[in-house]
Protein backbone atom coordinates (compact mmCIF):
# COMPACT_ATOMS: atom_id res chain seq x y z
CA UNK A 1 0.00 0.00 0.00
CA UNK A 2 2.84 2.37 0.86
CA UNK A 3 4.44 1.35 -2.39
CA UNK A 4 1.31 2.28 -4.38
CA UNK A 5 1.09 5.61 -2.58
CA UNK A 6 4.72 6.44 -3.46
CA UNK A 7 4.17 5.50 -7.11
CA UNK A 8 1.05 7.67 -7.21
CA UNK A 9 2.86 10.64 -5.65
CA UNK A 10 5.75 10.25 -8.15
CA UNK A 11 3.29 10.31 -11.05
CA UNK A 12 1.59 13.44 -9.65
CA UNK A 13 4.96 15.18 -9.10
CA UNK A 14 6.09 14.22 -12.62
CA UNK A 15 2.84 15.56 -14.08
CA UNK A 16 2.97 18.82 -12.09
CA UNK A 17 6.72 19.24 -12.77
CA UNK A 18 6.20 18.64 -16.50
CA UNK A 19 3.35 21.14 -16.56
CA UNK A 20 5.41 23.84 -14.78
CA UNK A 21 8.42 23.12 -17.02
CA UNK A 22 6.30 23.48 -20.16
CA UNK A 23 4.85 26.79 -18.90
CA UNK A 24 8.30 28.23 -18.20
CA UNK A 25 9.62 27.34 -21.66
CA UNK A 26 6.34 27.96 -23.46
CA UNK A 27 6.11 24.78 -25.52
CA UNK A 28 3.34 25.01 -28.09
CA UNK A 29 1.95 22.52 -30.50
CA UNK A 30 1.73 23.99 -33.98
CA UNK A 31 0.01 22.81 -37.08
CA UNK A 32 2.87 21.82 -39.41
CA UNK A 33 0.77 22.38 -42.56
CA UNK A 34 -0.07 26.03 -41.90
CA UNK A 35 1.48 28.71 -44.11
CA UNK A 36 4.08 31.00 -42.66
CA UNK A 37 3.68 34.65 -43.56
CA UNK A 38 6.76 36.82 -43.79
CA UNK A 39 6.78 40.52 -43.33
CA UNK A 40 9.49 42.57 -44.99
CA UNK A 41 10.60 45.43 -42.82
CA UNK A 42 12.23 48.28 -44.73
CA UNK A 43 15.72 49.08 -43.57
CA UNK A 44 16.47 52.60 -42.52
CA UNK A 45 19.80 53.82 -43.76
CA UNK A 46 21.71 55.65 -41.07
CA UNK A 47 24.71 57.88 -41.53
CA UNK A 48 27.31 56.00 -39.56
CA UNK A 49 30.36 57.81 -38.24
CA UNK A 50 33.25 56.97 -40.51
CA UNK A 51 30.94 55.90 -43.32
CA UNK A 52 31.42 59.11 -45.31
CA UNK A 53 33.89 58.36 -48.07
CA UNK A 54 34.20 61.06 -50.71
CA UNK A 55 34.71 60.44 -54.44
CA UNK A 56 38.42 59.75 -53.82
CA UNK A 57 37.86 57.38 -50.88
CA UNK A 58 38.84 59.89 -48.18
CA UNK A 59 37.02 59.75 -44.80
CA UNK A 60 36.02 63.31 -43.98
CA UNK A 61 34.78 62.42 -40.49
CA UNK A 62 38.27 61.12 -39.69
CA UNK A 63 39.82 64.38 -40.90
CA UNK A 64 41.06 63.13 -44.27
CA UNK A 65 40.76 65.23 -47.40
CA UNK A 66 42.00 64.72 -50.96
CA UNK A 67 45.31 66.29 -51.95
CA UNK A 68 45.38 66.37 -55.74
CA UNK A 69 49.02 67.38 -55.82
CA UNK A 70 50.12 64.31 -53.86
CA UNK A 71 47.33 62.11 -55.24
CA UNK A 72 46.33 60.79 -51.80
CA UNK A 73 44.11 61.33 -48.77
CA UNK A 74 45.77 63.16 -45.92
CA UNK A 75 45.15 65.12 -42.75
CA UNK A 76 46.44 68.63 -43.39
CA UNK A 77 47.54 69.12 -39.76
CA UNK A 78 49.72 65.97 -40.02
CA UNK A 79 51.05 66.41 -43.56
CA UNK A 80 50.87 69.55 -45.65
CA UNK A 81 49.37 69.40 -49.10
CA UNK A 82 52.13 71.42 -50.74
CA UNK A 83 50.96 74.05 -53.14
CA UNK A 84 51.84 73.19 -56.73
CA UNK A 85 53.13 76.75 -57.22
CA UNK A 86 55.95 76.15 -54.74
CA UNK A 87 57.15 73.07 -56.61
CA UNK A 88 56.62 74.79 -59.97
CA UNK A 89 58.94 77.59 -58.90
CA UNK A 90 61.58 75.12 -57.71
CA UNK A 91 61.42 73.10 -60.95
CA UNK A 92 61.63 76.28 -63.03
CA UNK A 93 64.72 77.39 -61.10
CA UNK A 94 66.32 73.97 -61.60
CA UNK A 95 65.61 74.07 -65.35
CA UNK A 96 67.05 77.59 -65.59
CA UNK A 97 70.16 76.19 -63.89
CA UNK A 98 70.38 73.46 -66.55
CA UNK A 99 69.37 75.42 -69.70
CA UNK A 100 70.16 79.03 -68.80
CA UNK A 101 67.94 82.12 -68.72
CA UNK A 102 65.96 81.02 -71.79
CA UNK A 103 64.19 78.54 -69.49
CA UNK A 104 62.63 81.52 -67.67
CA UNK A 105 59.93 81.51 -70.37
CA UNK A 106 58.84 77.97 -69.52
CA UNK A 107 55.41 77.27 -68.09
CA UNK A 108 55.72 74.49 -65.52
CA UNK A 109 52.90 72.08 -64.71
CA UNK A 110 52.80 69.42 -61.99
CA UNK A 111 50.72 66.38 -62.95
CA UNK A 112 51.58 64.06 -60.03
CA UNK A 113 53.33 64.60 -56.75
CA UNK A 114 54.05 62.59 -53.62
CA UNK A 115 56.16 63.56 -50.64
CA UNK A 116 59.41 62.66 -52.42
CA UNK A 117 58.59 62.39 -56.15
CA UNK A 118 57.00 64.58 -58.80
CA UNK A 119 56.15 64.47 -62.51
CA UNK A 120 55.12 67.25 -64.82
CA UNK A 121 55.68 69.22 -67.96
CA UNK A 122 57.57 72.25 -69.12
CA UNK A 123 56.19 74.12 -72.12
CA UNK A 124 57.01 77.26 -74.03
CA UNK A 125 55.85 78.75 -77.26
CA UNK A 126 56.57 76.14 -79.90
CA UNK A 127 56.95 73.05 -77.71
CA UNK A 128 57.93 71.54 -74.44
CA UNK A 129 58.79 68.36 -72.63
CA UNK A 130 58.33 66.30 -69.50
CA UNK A 131 60.29 66.19 -66.28
CA UNK A 132 60.70 63.86 -63.31
CA UNK A 133 62.00 65.12 -59.98
CA UNK A 134 62.95 63.44 -56.72
CA UNK A 135 63.59 64.88 -53.30
CA UNK A 136 67.06 64.00 -52.02
CA UNK A 137 68.24 65.14 -48.61
CA UNK A 138 65.21 67.42 -48.42
CA UNK A 139 65.91 69.16 -51.77
CA UNK A 140 64.23 68.64 -55.14
CA UNK A 141 66.44 67.55 -58.04
CA UNK A 142 65.55 66.93 -61.66
CA UNK A 143 66.10 63.26 -62.44
CA UNK A 144 65.08 63.48 -66.11
CA UNK A 145 63.67 66.09 -68.46
CA UNK A 146 63.01 66.25 -72.17
CA UNK A 147 61.21 64.40 -74.95
CA UNK A 148 63.67 61.64 -75.73
CA UNK A 149 64.00 58.12 -74.46
CA UNK A 150 65.10 58.19 -70.81
CA UNK A 151 67.53 55.84 -69.11
CA UNK A 152 64.82 53.82 -67.36
CA UNK A 153 67.27 51.80 -65.29
CA UNK A 154 68.66 55.05 -63.88
CA UNK A 155 65.19 56.50 -63.27
CA UNK A 156 63.94 53.32 -61.58
CA UNK A 157 66.94 53.39 -59.23
CA UNK A 158 65.22 56.34 -57.50
CA UNK A 159 62.24 54.05 -56.77
CA UNK A 160 59.55 56.28 -58.28
CA UNK A 161 55.99 55.06 -57.74
CA UNK A 162 55.08 52.91 -60.76
CA UNK A 163 52.02 55.04 -61.66
CA UNK A 164 54.31 58.06 -61.98
CA UNK A 165 56.38 56.31 -64.65
CA UNK A 166 53.42 55.32 -66.85
CA UNK A 167 54.20 56.27 -70.44
CA UNK A 168 57.86 56.94 -69.60
CA UNK A 169 59.29 53.68 -68.22
CA UNK A 170 56.44 51.16 -68.17
Cα dihedral value 131, 134, 137, 139, nearest 10 = 40
Strands (E), the chain: 65-67, 72-74, 107-113, 117-124, 127-136, 139-146
pLDDT surpasses 60 at 27: no
Task: For the beta carbon of residue 43, count every other beta carbon within 10 angstroms.
Answer: 6
pLDDT surpasses 80 at 106: yes
Cα dihedral value 125, 131, 135, 141, nearest 10 = -70
Match domain 84-165 to its CATH number in 3.30.70, 3.40.50, 3.10.450, 1.10.10: 3.10.450
CA distances in angstroms from 131 to 49, 57, 102, 143, listed in the order given: 42, 29, 17, 8
Note the pLDDT of residue 65.
85
pLDDT surpasses 60 at 49: no
Report the chain's mean pLDDT, rounded to a whole number: 79
In the chain, % of residues over pLDDT 90: 23
Note the pLDDT of residue 145.
92
Note the pLDDT of residue 77.
80
pLDDT, mean of residues 126-142: 90
Distance CA 48, CA 160 (A): 37
* Cβ–Cβ < 8 Å for 45, 34: no
Domain extents in the chain: 84-165
Determine if the pTM surpasses 0.85: no
3-state DSSP assignment of residue 74 = strand
pLDDT, mean of residues 78-107: 81
Q: pLDDT grade, residue 101 (50/70/90)?
A: confident
Amino acid sequence: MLKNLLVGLLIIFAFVGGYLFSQKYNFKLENKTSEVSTTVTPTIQKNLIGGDLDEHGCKGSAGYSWCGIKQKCLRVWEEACEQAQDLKTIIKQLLVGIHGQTANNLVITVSKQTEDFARGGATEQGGGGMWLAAKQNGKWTIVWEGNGIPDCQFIKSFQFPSDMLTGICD
